[in-house]
A and B are shown apart, each in its own frame.
Chain A
């Protein structure tokens, strides 16, 4: 009796503290992966897209595939601070994971592409990434009989074209979605799924007067489809401002998902932080460069334990290992 009273009081306290605590359903993955009406997901499309994703023949050098940078063994990223592209050129931005990109309204750090279909041809043609002429890619695939029949099965009558290459890649990417993580089991009611420290960390994460992380990292995918300048030291990249020339967008980047976050170090659009501890310390300082800093950020004055709790919570967002079979490429 006494202890349940205590519990009630404690829960009451917690609730009143967590000014913006979201209902737990908000953290459940939507049942269906969204796909445009013009490109419904079918097994044939996914299979074709997967082959294309892993195929280095899509690149000018025949050496770089999408999976070179978006490597499933490295959380669909590359483990590098910033990507390395054609001719070993070091690029200016980090390779984001493609996990859960199906749920994003904008693609890329600066959101310059709307859909996965819009995005897919970009890296093939970019001279710094795969450096391949798009007409040439189509011509090359058309003489590979294995591909011709796969395209026919996936997109009957549409043939091998830039559009069908993009649609197939997008269809495959829509299958790369997060698996159940300890956090999800806890949200569904298994109190033993995560540690007490992680539970506290989640409370600090949501609490507007503590971490305030959920002002931007919200919902099941822990992002808001929004763009923010988090005050990274020395950042010269204009980010979203190049797309939307409104002052608040100077140095702003898309809020990344935090799903499988332990698999995708280093962190931030420029890969400047090696560990989650460093990221949390950054937020605790309220960011470093105050110039055009997002106003949701301020020094947090979290204790060492509270910062540790947040890191413990972030670690519970990594799902069951994905089983990825590497395709035998069509000949």
Chain B
């Protein structure tokens, strides 16, 4: 797990070195994914951008994706914690919470 985080950080640095990669925060709130307080089901970002997944609920959430462009599993973590993923390849990633399958979003990486 730790090594994965380091790899993620590493690729973040590499990507960030290029054309000013952006960072986004997606909240896990009321068993939905939210951006700026609004439920988000589809989001568009650029290759190299980072998404922070932050748990705002008083119970654990998970974040994972088994998509072609990115496979990851952030495990489960409690309220207040966040974990981050760099999406380095263009394409579409389905991001889900394994615990609550209603938490599902599509990330379009350009």
Number of A-B contacts (CB under 8 A): 50
Nearest B residue to A249, CB-CB = B98
CB pair A294 B73 closer than 8 Å: no
Q: How far is the CA of A226 from the CA of B92 in the complex (A)?
A: 25
Question: Which residues B66-92 have CB closer than 8 A to chain A?
Answer: 73, 75-76, 78
Secondary structure type dominating chain A contacts: loop
CB pair A296 B60 closer than 8 Å: yes
Q: Distance in Å from the Cβ of A325 to the closest Cβ of chain B? A: 35
A240 neighbours in B (Cβ, 8 Å): 98
B7 neighbours in A (Cβ, 8 Å): none
Q: How far is the CA of A248 from the CA of B77 in the complex (A)?
A: 11
A233 neighbours in B (Cβ, 8 Å): none
B73 neighbours in A (Cβ, 8 Å): 246-248
A228 at the B interface (CB under 8 A): yes
A228 neighbours in B (Cβ, 8 Å): 99
A227 neighbours in B (Cβ, 8 Å): 98-99, 101
A142 at the B interface (CB under 8 A): no
**Contacts A224-B31, A295-B76, A295-B78 given: A244-B98 contact, CB under 8 Å?**
yes
CB pair A216 B59 closer than 8 Å: yes
Q: How far is the CA of A264 from the CA of B2 in the complex (A)?
A: 44
A106 neighbours in B (Cβ, 8 Å): 101
Q: Name the one of B58, B98, B101 contacting A215, with C-beta atoms under 8 angstroms.
A: B58
CB pair B58 A19 closer than 8 Å: yes
A111 at the B interface (CB under 8 A): yes
A105 at the B interface (CB under 8 A): yes
CB pair B60 A225 closer than 8 Å: no
Q: Distance in Å from the Cβ of A136 to the closest Cβ of chain B? A: 34
A225 neighbours in B (Cβ, 8 Å): 31, 100-102
Chain B residues in contact with chain A, CB under 8 A?
31, 58-60, 62, 64, 73, 75-76, 78, 98-102
Q: A248-B73, A252-B99 are in contact. List 5 more A-B contacts (CB 8 A).
A: A106-B101, A215-B60, A225-B31, A227-B99, A296-B59
